[in-house]
């Protein structure tokens, strides 16, 4: 049974897709061990509470140094007996020490087709604003392993979404969440939990 801890910062719709996926059987062999938010008022924490999952507020701002925060985050992940860390709408840079300790065991959902519209400064609505400004006809979402960079880790899966002429950033964000994020993140977790998806030598290996 894969124990996952989900890191969040906002509304938690991707967390909800995980909660619903475990309940419906889309995600198997997986236990949602806990939720950690760097925002005290994140609705994602309410979603965790409603699902009977422990939700913890843990923010770098509460610690005097990055080092202290790293230690606290690692302690909390260990308390949850975490096998896989899932960044789901998480707008916090994960400290290098945490990335090193959970090497190849942290995944992230990004709302674009990486390598487009990703990296520093590309998060939330900004991603969709940039896609619309560039005039792309197709965008989508990507699940990838997290390394020490920003959205640079090995890609696990992607799903394309049509951009429509009248799209606003908000309309496009919603379509990308509904048609891509909420589907491929649960699929990726289920694949890892059941050994179909693994990483070796920096390469993602997907069994049929
Ligand atoms: C989503 O677009 C997600 O891809 C991005 O943040 C937005 C909100 O995610 N990282 P959520 O509703 O908090 O899961």
The residue whose CA is least distant from atom 5 of ligand 1 is 89
Whether the CB of 140 sits within 6 Å of ligand 1: no
Among 47, 110, 128, 144, which one carries the catalytic annotation? 110
**Side-by-side strand order, sheet with 55-57:** 55-57, 30-37, 2-8, 84-87, 106-110, 138-145, 155-162
Q: 146: CA distance to ligand 1 center in Å? A: 16
- Nearest CA to 91 among 113, 112, 108, 76? 108
**In order of start, what are the domains of the chain with their CATH numbers?**
2-206 (3.40.50.170)
**pLDDT value, residue 164:** 98
Kindly state the average pLDDT of the residues 97-109.
98
User: What radius of gyration, in Å, describes the C-alpha atoms of the chain?
Assistant: 16
Cβ-defined contacts of 118-122 (< 8 Å, 24+): 118/142, 118/150, 118/151, 119/149, 119/150, 119/151, 119/152, 120/150, 122/151
The pLDDT tens digits for 36-81 are 999 999 999 999 999 999 999 999 999 999 999 999 999 999 999 9
Atom of ligand 1 nearest to the CA of 16: 14
5 pairs with which residues across the strands?
34, 85
To the query of whether residue 110 is one of the catalytic residues in this protein, the response is yes
Kindly state the average pLDDT of the residues 19-24.
98
pTM, 2 dp: 0.97
The pLDDT tens digits for 107-150 are 999 999 999 999 999 999 999 999 999 999 999 999 999 999 99
The pLDDT tens digits for 195-205 are 999 999 999 99
- Average pLDDT over the chain, rounded to an integer: 97
**pLDDT value, residue 198:** 96
**pLDDT value, residue 60:** 95
Query: Alpha-carbon distance 158 to 184, whole Å?
Result: 7
Atom of ligand 1 nearest to the CA of 111: 4
Whether the CB of 172 sits within 6 Å of ligand 1: no
Tokens 């910062």 label which residue?
9
**pLDDT value, residue 38:** 98
On the question of pLDDT at 208 being above 90, the answer is: no
Query: Alpha-carbon distance 62 to 41, whole Å?
Result: 15
């Amino acid at each position: 049974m894969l124990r996952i801890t989900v890191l969040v910062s906002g509304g938690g719709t991707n967390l909800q897709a995980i909660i619903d996926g475990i309940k419906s059987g889309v995600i198997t062999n997986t236990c949602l061990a806990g939720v950690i938010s760097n925002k005290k008022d994140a609705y994602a924490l309410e979603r965790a509470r409603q699902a009977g999952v422990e939700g913890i507020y843990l923010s770098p701002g509460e610690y005097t140094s990055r080092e202290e925060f790293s230690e606290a985050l690692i302690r909390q992940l260990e308390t949850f007996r975490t096998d896989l860390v899932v960044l789901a709408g998480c707008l916090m840079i994960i400290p290098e020490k945490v990335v090193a300790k959970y090497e190849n065991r942290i995944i992230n959902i990004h709302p674009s087709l990486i390598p487009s519209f990703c990296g520093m400064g590309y998060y939330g609505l900004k991603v969709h604003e940039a896609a619309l400004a560039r005039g792309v006809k197709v965008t989508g979402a990507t699940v990838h392993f997290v390394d020490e960079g920003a959205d640079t880790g090995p890609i696990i899966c992607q799903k394309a979404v049509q951009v429509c002429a009248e799209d606003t950033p908000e309309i496009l964000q919603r379509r990308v969440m509904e048609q891509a994020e909420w589907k491929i993140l649960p699929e990726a977790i289920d694949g890892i939990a059941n050994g179909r998806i693994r990483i070796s030598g920096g390469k993602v290996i997907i069994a049929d």
